Amino acid sequence: MHGAQRRQAPAGDHEALTAAFAGGEAVINCAGPFTFTARAVAAAAIDAGCHYVDTSGEQLAVKDLFDTLTAPAHGAGVSVVPAATDGCVPLDLLASLVAARLGRVEEMRTVHLVGAGGVSRGSLRSLAATIGDVRSGGLVYDGGDWRAGTPGRRGEVLLPGRRAAVPEVVTIPRHVRLRRLEGLAEAGLGERLSSAPSPEVIASLPEGPAERERRAQRFTYLAEAAGAGGRRVRGIAEGSDTYGLTAVIAVESARRLVAEPPGAGVLAPAQAFEPAAFLGFLGAYGVRWAVEDGPERDGSVG
Ligand SMILES: NC(=O)c1ccc[n+]([C@@H]2O[C@H](COP(=O)([O-])OP(=O)(O)OC[C@H]3O[C@@H](n4cnc5c(N)ncnc54)[C@H](OP(=O)(O)O)[C@@H]3O)[C@@H](O)[C@H]2O)c1
């Protein structure tokens, strides 16, 4: 970037990191695995008076920021919005719109369907850092708390899918009152997420998928909910190039936090941004989305 200053600091040195962020308006943390860096980088951003976003899909690291940094973020008057990614932001925003349409939500399920495409070294390192959580069955939100290792409920799903461990969206219960929330992914993704190559193998791989490969990849994300009377509503977002979209979402999230500060604290995307407006913005990047009644038959949730 022309004229940009470059400052370096180790993630483990709070004073140096805070000094590096000083004078900035927002920090975009891309230094995964976030299991090891998110709290340190976010704490330094807060102390430097900067808003914060990251590109973490590591759900326990996301949850940790809500659990530990809400008070400091409030005190500093800054907004912290973790998980500014292609999957978490659309699903969190859709969940908010689905809940508004349904009224009272009993159960919700998020579904990730991501077509074949390469993964970056960084994603594989994040996966390796969280593989224990993945193999233990991941997280299910049930009765007001997240529980690890709870078997997902079976049932026909709208699209071929089954429960996998990583793609929960822990931000959703921050703003949607519900009894149960779980995440599913299609079987192929679930299998890919259940194993991670060794650090040596990861280091020998290309940095990430080629642009042609990224553009050919397609994704579908669903947030499906059932209400008390059995009524169902679902939100759907479709697009391509999860990595390119994550970059757009992270930068736009930081830009909005600076331009239209939503209030201090650690916030879910739907608490920080107007859901339909943000999803509408993503339309310029090929994302199509809708919130609709149905399906009428069971098979989607429960
Ligand atoms: N969920 C999503 O949609 C999504 C999409 C894209 C990316 N991501 C996540 O974003 C992260 C970045 O992905 P990527 O492909 O860009 O990974 P990458 O190429 O490995 O980049 C990570 C960068 O972070 C730096 N870093 C890591 N730990 C650090 C520390 N303690 N102190 C200083 N620097 C540190 C690394 O520096 P060195 O090279 O010097 O180690 C590297 O430059 C990954 O965790 C990935 O999971 C998520």
> Per-residue pLDDT tens for 67-113?
999 999 999 999 999 999 999 999 999 999 999 999 999 999 898 88
Determine if ligand 1 sits within 6 Å of the CB of residue 123.
Answer: yes
* pTM summary value: 0.92
Phi first, then psi, for residue 140 (nearest 5°) are -130, 135
Nearest residue (by CA) to ligand 1, atom 38, is 31
CA of 97 to the centre of ligand 1 (A): 31
Q: Which domains does the chain have, with CATH numbers?
A: 88-241+277-293 (3.30.360)
Contact assessment for residue 126 and residue 59, using Cβ atoms and an 8 Å cutoff? no
* Pocket lining: 126 vs ligand 1, CB cutoff 6 Å: yes
Look at residue 114 in the predicted model and tell me its pLDDT.
Answer: 81
Query: What is the Å distance from ligand 1's center to 65 Cα?
Result: 18
pLDDT higher for 230 or 36?
Answer: 36
> How many distinct helices (H) and strands (E) make up the chain?
12, 12
* CB-ligand 1 contact for 110 (6 Å cutoff): no
What secondary structure does DSSP assign to 38-55, as a single string? HHHHHHHHHHTT-EEEE-
Distance 112 CA to ligand 1 centre (A): 22
Residue pLDDT, tens place only, 28-55: 999 999 999 999 999 999 999 999 999 9
Average pLDDT over residues 126-134: 81
Cα-to-chain-centroid distance, residue 228: 27
- pLDDT single digits (tens) 211-220: 888 888 899 9
CA distance 2 to 14: 28
Ligand 1 atom with the smallest distance to the CA of 125 is 45
Quote the CA–CA distance of 134 and 153 in Å, as a whole number. Answer: 16
Q: Whose CA is nearest to atom 23 of ligand 1?
A: 31
**Residue 109 neighbours by CB under 8 Å, 6+ apart:** 181, 182, 183, 184, 222, 223, 224, 225, 300, 301
In the prediction, which pLDDT does 21 show?
A: 98
